[in-house]
Structure 1
Amino acid sequence: MSNKPFKFKQFSVSQDRCAMKIGTDGVLLGAWSSLKHQPESILDIGTGTGVIALMLAQRSDAGLIDALEIEENAYEQAVENFEQSDWGDRLFCYHAGFDEFVDEMKDEEAYDLIISNPPFYSEDYKSGNDNRDQARFADALPLTELIEGASLLLSDNGHFDLIIPFGEEKTALQIAASFNLFPRRITRVKGTESSPVKRSLISFSFDETRTAIDELVLEVSRHNYTEEFKNLVSDFYLKL
């Protein structure tokens, strides 16, 4: 995977010091997340390169876009990417663990949109690269801790959006319900029409309403992308 900066239409993301490079999951989430409720404050948990926060800065007028990253190299890279963007005055990255951040901020700040592409490989396997493992393994930020923390930082009318493996969807919905968070919208993502569902994009809120459920197929064939996917990410990717 290349260490070269990843160029989007309105910003560029350096990723040479980040264990986790730009991937489809993060871009999908950053493009899919609804801004119809016009969030004034946004929090990106586990920002990595900062790509999701940058996408939301491009898409929204939110005056406050905070990001959180525990791994030092990724934190420094996110700060650099924010400073080099057109929205550096609205973007701020904290270098801290999520539990520490929640303890400090839960009585200070309520976010209208909380978003996360969390670590989710829970298998008993490690790559040997400590930074990559921390960025990608669920024991670094368990789903229960993530959802509980989000519930403490979310404004009354806010949304909490995340992308997880489809196999974790049922568990995530059960955990969220225990913290009075309910799914507004679920999009299940498949590589192709005939392939199994791979990811779930979920938007939670404190309102218990009927869940809108749909499906997104990414490709017709290898590197031949569906119109639905192209329309979703057309404001960001230079080429498809």
Structure 2
Amino acid sequence: MKIGTDGVLLGSWIPLTDNETSILDVGTGTGVIALMLAQRSNAEIVDAIEIDPDAYEQAVENFENSPWGDRLFCYHASFQEFFNEIEESYDVIVSNPPFFTEDFKSDNPQRSVARFEDALPFEHLLYGVSRLLSKQGRFAMILPYTEEESILNLAATYTLFPEKITRVRGAAATPIKRSMIVFGRSEKTFEEEELTIEISRHQYTPEYVALTKAFYLKM
């Protein structure tokens, strides 16, 4: 599967401190976000979950071939199976979840599993996060801007509250397309900001370059 802008954005943007010891990437695909967080942090444990067998094998290979292979581990399981069996907690949980609608379903069933919300309903995602997140932990996700309000309301039912929201535009003249949200367990005033990716086609804004340049060979 190709590396998407959403994954690069989320992996670059998640606020990290020097205190995280464990990270979990839910639905890692080929492992890009987990690898980015291993690069950005000193966490001793960077776990990932992937249900698709081909993507899982690619993630394992990518982890083994990276400089952080001793800290990365991928589980071949659904998130539902994982959170019902694992007793450990994580300081950071991240997910670039599937969120396409029925109208856009692919004829390729593997692609559908990776891309569609019915493979991991938001209710299951947030419930699992609420079980696995440490007391001071944070959960970060990216989703369509149109889903932001409903996710905030749903997350509150699992006592997960926003700490930071960054809304993303492709270009200055285009509508907001994505919301990146960091949740914590305490309800408080949260930070809000906007990020624009491009000035023109393949001409990136200074803000986007500053955020992501550590992960591109040419930026």
TM-score by length of 1: 0.90
- Give the gaps of 5 or more residues in structure 1: 1-19
- Cα RMSD after superposing both structures: 0.9
CA distance in 1, matches of 2:102, 2:166: 24
1:140 aligns to what? Answer: 119
8 Å Cα contact 1:38-1:60 kept in structure 2: no
Residue identity matched to 2:178: R
Cα displacement (A) at 1:158: 0.2
Secondary structure of the residue that 2:34 maps to in structure 1?
A: helix
Cα displacement (A) at 1:144: 1.2
Match of 1:197 among 154, 172, 176: 176
CA distance in 2, matches of 1:67, 1:155: 17
1:31 aligns to what? Answer: 12
2:110 maps to 1:131:
yes
Higher helix share: 2
| 1:33-52 paired onto structure 2 within 5 Å | 33-36=14-17, 38-52=19-33
Residue identity matched to 1:93: C
CA distance in 2, matches of 1:225, 1:125: 28
TM-score by length of 2: 0.98
- Give the gaps of 5 or more residues in structure 2: none
Residue identity matched to 2:165: I
- Identical positions, percent: 59
- Post-superposition Cα deviations, 1:10-67, rounded to whole Å, max 9, x if no partner, equal xxxxxxxxxx310110010000001126210000000001000000000000000000
1:103 aligns to what? Answer: 84
2:192 maps to 1:209:
no
Runs of 4+ in 1 over 3 A off after TM superposition: none
CA distance in 1, matches of 2:4, 2:105: 19
Residue identity matched to 1:198: K
2:160 maps to 1:181:
yes
Q: In the comparison of the two structures, how many residue pairs are matched?
A: 219
